[in-house]
A and B are shown apart, each in its own frame.
Chain A
Amino acid sequence: MTRVLHAEPHDTGTVDTAPNRADEGYDTVFSYRELARLDEALTMSSRETGLRFTLYIGDLGKQTRLRAEELHARGGDPANSVLLAVSPGQRVIEVVTGPSAARRLPDRACALAVLSMTNSFASGDLVGGVVNGLRQLSDQAGHPRLARDH
Chain B
Amino acid sequence: MTVVETLLVFLAAPLAVYLLLWALTYLPGGRKRQGVQYRPGQSWDHEPVWYEPQPENAPTHAAGEGDTQAVGSSLYGETAAIGSGDGAGPGHGGHGSHGATAITAGAPTPASVGPLGGARGTW
CB-CB < 8 A to B30: which residues of A?
Answer: none
Q: B101 at the A/B interface (Cβ < 8 Å)?
A: yes
CB-CB < 8 A to B114: which residues of A?
Answer: 79, 98-99
Q: A142 at the A/B interface (Cβ < 8 Å)?
A: no
Contact with B along A90-131 (1 / 0, CB 8 A): 111111111101100111001101110111011111100000
Residue of B nearest to A57 (CB): B49
Given contacts A16-B84, A43-B54, A88-B38, contact A21 B103 (CB under 8 A): yes
Given contacts A54-B52, A77-B94, A79-B113, contact A107 B118 (CB under 8 A): yes
B contact face: mostly helix, strand, loop, or mixed? loop
Distance, CA A78 to CA B94, complexed state (A): 10
A interface size (C-beta, 8 A): 79
Residue of A nearest to B71 (CB): A17
Distance, CA A42 to CA B47, complexed state (A): 20
Contact partner of B89 among A72, A74, A91, A101, CB < 8 A?
A74
Contact call B123/A91, Cβ cutoff below 8 A = yes
CB-CB < 8 A to B49: which residues of A?
Answer: 27, 29, 56-58
Contact call B71/A29, Cβ cutoff below 8 A = no
Interface residues of A in 21-57 (CB under 8 A from B): 21-22, 25, 27-35, 38-39, 42-43, 45-47, 52-57
